[in-house]
Amino acid sequence: MKTIRYKLLFLSAFICLILSAQENKPFPKVEEMHNRKWQFIIERAKLTQAEADATLPVFMEYEKALWSFHGKNAEVFRSIKDKLKDSNFNYSDINDRYVEMGMIQAQMFKNYHLKLRKILTPETLFRYYKAEREFKRELLQDLKDRPQHGKRPHNQEPE
């Protein structure tokens, strides 16, 4: 009888450990995110194999450029974080940089669009963009619902 209790206790602890590890799993790598997003788009936009094969290089080029762009800008803004305490900080320059980033990103998207519209029909391209938006929405929802290593979710009251 005692052995059964110990086995059940051990099994319960093991299951709890697995469940907590799954909840706090690390963010996927960039390549995994590209692949997840691509599979999501193929499925939701109902791309044919020929459309998917023709679109994949354009998708990957844009995704890699976008992630690189965001990475470089994140570094810039991280380096500025400490300088914000300086009373002589030039907010005008950083605001201009922020707007410039938005304009560059918009131009990147326009170039992406021009390439995609040579490959996909207008209706398929519409479904493609809709699938991209849905992926972002679901990803944000997943991040919102994910417990953050020792932090409570934002919608949970403190105990």
| Both tokens assigned to 156 | 């949970």
- Compute the distance between CA of residue 111 and CA of residue 105 in angstroms, rounded to an integer: 10
Q: Residue 4: its pLDDT value, please?
A: 54
Residue ranges of the chain whose pLDDT lies below 50: 6-23, 150, 152-159
Q: Residue 6's pLDDT is what?
A: 45
CA-to-CA separations, 56 to 17, 78, 122, 140, in angstroms, rounded: 39, 32, 17, 23
What pLDDT digit, counting tens, does each position of 86-123 carry?
Answer: 777 888 888 898 899 999 999 999 999 999 999 999 99
**Res 147: pLDDT:** 67
Domain residue limits, the chain = 57-147
Asked if 62 and 112 count as a contact pair (C-beta separation under 8 A), the reply is yes
If we measure between CA atoms, which residue out of 15, 68, 38 comes closest to residue 132?
A: 38
